[in-house]
Structure 1
Amino acid sequence: MVAPQAIGYLYPWDVLGDPAAPAWLGTAGVDRVALAAAYHSVRAGTPRHPDRRVVDARTAALYVPAGAAFADQALVPASAKGWTGTANSFAGAAAVVRGLGLPVDAWTVLTHSSAAGGNNPDLCVRNAFGEVYRYALCPSQPQVRTYAAALVAQVLAEGQPDGLVLEAIGPLGFGHQNQHEKTEGAEYSPRVQALLSLCFCTACIAACEARGLPVQEYRSQVRSAVLLAEDHTETPETAPGAADFLPLLDIRWDAAAALLDECLAAIDASGAAPRISLHASPDPWSTGPFVATASLRRSKLWPLMDQVTAVVACWGESDQGVAAVRALKAAAPQARVGAYVLALPPKRADAGHLAAEWESLAEAGADELHVYHLGLASTRRLGAIGGAVTMLRDDGALRQRDVR
């Protein structure tokens, strides 16, 4: 067994304006960096920056110039110049990273935008109760797919990255939103949250009708199932009638596949040949950052998955991460598998503890470790990351995996 390749995640403001950035970034020991190029709103700590301690990225934004790429579109990304000081912070930060000899992947979030969604609620996910998730652009909408492809094309044209990390290829659902979360006390079960993530926007309704599905009956069934739910632990798979809503999932999978295909067309048209990583999940009900692999199987990318890294979240306990890696390997056997690992609280800031967790993921089949997050980590946590990466490489049987 060889050591997995380590990819560290960063925001542009983590290194811009910090003369010491090359030094502390080098201590992380990563093989490459995933740098935010199109990202949702966030308030982020900057624990080492000489001039600030927090960045308020108040809207989703594009971190390269938008130019005229979105001139005729309803959906237009915001500029990050207000909190980065430049319209092309991706390029400036990438230059710092490349100065260390590290490749740079453009971390590109596609359908998660409260800015674009807030101005275009008709293009967002709408649940069975008619409630709109303004942070969640629905890929069933052709304009959303065009917007996502334009994001990818502009990132490639202006950012010139070595690779792409694509997140939120499909729709976001009930969770992973932007406002202060005040729903935990309602104790909605995993099943209820999954049902509240099913979309009934105009495009999803049209897709139902085109397939001859009784969309209003489905909407009523979803509403009734939510209103009558009493078991706070019930999951979509274990609930009675678990297969009843699969036709709605089928529409979601097709929509996400269509969005990915438009992004692939943009990549082909660019003439670039970037390394591609996709945030993915073997869970057929998955929404949010990680697209269901059922969607990938319907994409034109599926026959080429041996050239792709499928990245699965491994943020929980070690045994949960191992199960996630194994499940993704089974769902996408021809792809490289990346484990998206957390180095922030509640994880311990301890190199040995992190190395033990990460080695278990490598043994389960993880080819890569996608480490979240170098810029958000305190200096002691950054040291723990670097120490853990070194331990994995130095452990007798482990050797650094070749970069594809």
Structure 2
Amino acid sequence: MKASTFVYPWDVNGDPDAAARIAGLGVRQATLASAYHSTRALTPRHPRHRIVTALHAAVLYPVDGERWQGRRLRPYAAGDWAPGDAYGEAASALAEAGLDVHTWVVLAHNSRMGEEFTDTSVVNAYGDRYPWAPCIAQPDTRAYLVELAVEAAVRPGAGGTELESLGWYGLAHLHAHDKTGGVALGDAGLYLMSLCFCPSCRDGYAQLGLDPDELMAAVRRALEPVWRGEAPAGDWEAVEKLLGAELATATRAWRDSVARSLQEEAVGAVRSAAPEGFQILLHADPASYRVGANVGVDPAHILSVADGVVVPCAGGPEPLASFAGQAAGPHVLAANFTVVSGMGGRPGALGEDVARAVELGATEVRLYHAGLASDEDLSRVTEALARLG
């Protein structure tokens, strides 16, 4: 059972013991961030700092000016949290410690781009703009995401990549000091609040025979019970109950087609630029209407496009079952477990969680996150991986 842990460059650079410590966990691979969103991260063992503040979404290597020349949308360079070729420096140290290194690329999650280019953002049914969520239906945004996927994924020495947020973003995954938890939205409310009504999406709805203004009004009416605290329980069925099955199906048809075509284009572009044997995985949720870092996908479709998926299993490994058996040939089905106790992880139960994941079809394990976890968490991870062999 191959295990990999997620790592940031700032976990490694400046700490001469970091790479060996990560390899000592018993993992064979490090999934190292090469393009990442804004964050504030703890570094509990680093000899120089304890908190790293990444002020905006950035690539963690030198921006290739020639590649991006003449483009309106282009990646931002990192600040002092990841200077120079931070990714390359960390990748070299991890490789010298005996680890395979794969890139970790965050795509459709960029607050700075949304603030500087306001037209790129998702716009909800009330006209509110989500600057952290680029709309993937827009041609300029799609071109930017595909080019970023290629550049950030295919870094020197990398054996593969994991593409995060390659699909629809919306209200999920928080923004700055988040204050949206006062009303429980449920899956249905979250979907409705994540529907986009930017010009590109309005055109898309019209192509399906919908009136965009009437659809906006219908979404607002559908959300009224949610604001009263009466959101229906359930998953997609709850969306259909609030919006009506016909309209709900139409919105999903538009969004699914946009996401699928972007995933096909981006994975194809990365594959064309990568050396033979380069592995391409997507962070994915098996329900295509879901939004966020683990984008909603159709399991059979995405396994016909990519080499596999990384599936969030913080709430249990059951989502793996939707992917198992969907691939025509051998594919990676990686169960992603949070092992940071302070973030709700269960490092002490990793062995039993992995065993259950294997029963559901998992072929690999991902551990989130070696840089954020305490010494006690890492000790439990090391013990569990040793038992798993």
2:223 to 206, 223, 226: 226
Distance 1:356 1:267 in 2: 35
For normalisation by structure 1, the TM-score amounts to 0.88
Secondary structure in 2 matching 1:83:
coil
User: Is the aligned partner of 1:145 residue 2:142?
Assistant: yes
Q: Give the structure 2 partner of residue 368 of structure 1.
A: 364
Distance 1:271 1:237, change over 3 A: closer
Which amino acid letter does the alignment assign opposite residue 368 of structure 2? Y
Q: Give the structure 2 partner of residue 290 of structure 1.
A: 294
Q: Which moved more, 1:144-153 or 1:71-80?
A: 71-80
Secondary structure in 2 matching 1:169:
coil
Distance 1:391 1:84 in 2: 36
1:343 to 339, 358, 364: 339
Secondary structure in 2 matching 1:133:
strand
The alpha-carbon deviation at position 173 of structure 1 amounts to 1.4
The alpha-carbon deviation at position 189 of structure 1 amounts to 3.0
Give the unaligned 5+ runs of structure 2: none
Query: How do 1:9-48 and structure 2 match up within 5 A?
Result: 9-48=6-45
The alpha-carbon deviation at position 192 of structure 1 amounts to 1.2
The alpha-carbon deviation at position 75 of structure 1 amounts to 1.9
- Name the % identity: 32
Which amino acid letter does the alignment assign opposite residue 177 of structure 1? L
For normalisation by structure 2, the TM-score amounts to 0.91
Aligned-residue CA RMSD in angstroms? 2.0
Q: Give the structure 2 partner of residue 396 of structure 1.
A: none
2:70 to 48, 72, 76: 72
Q: Which moved more, 1:187-196 or 1:29-38?
A: 187-196
Distance 1:128 1:254 in 2: 20
8 Å Cα contact 1:254/1:295 also seen in 2: no
Distance 2:44 2:153 in 1: 30
8 Å Cα contact 2:136/2:142 also seen in 1: yes
1:117-161 deviation digits (Å, cap 9, x = unpaired):
221221111111111111011110111111111112222454442
Query: How do 1:5-404 and structure 2 match up within 5 A?
Result: 5-68=2-65, 69-86=67-84, 88-156=85-153, 158-229=155-226, 230-239=229-238, 240=241, 241-242=244-245, 244-273=247-276, 274-294=278-298, 297=301, 302-305=303-306, 308-316=307-315, 321-329=316-324, 334=329, 335-345=331-341, 346-350=344-348, 353-393=349-389
8 Å Cα contact 1:146/1:262 also seen in 2: no
Which amino acid letter does the alignment assign opposite residue 337 of structure 2? V
**What is the number of equivalent residue pairs in this alignment?**
378
Runs of 4+ in 1 over 3 A off after TM superposition: 156-160, 301-305, 330-335
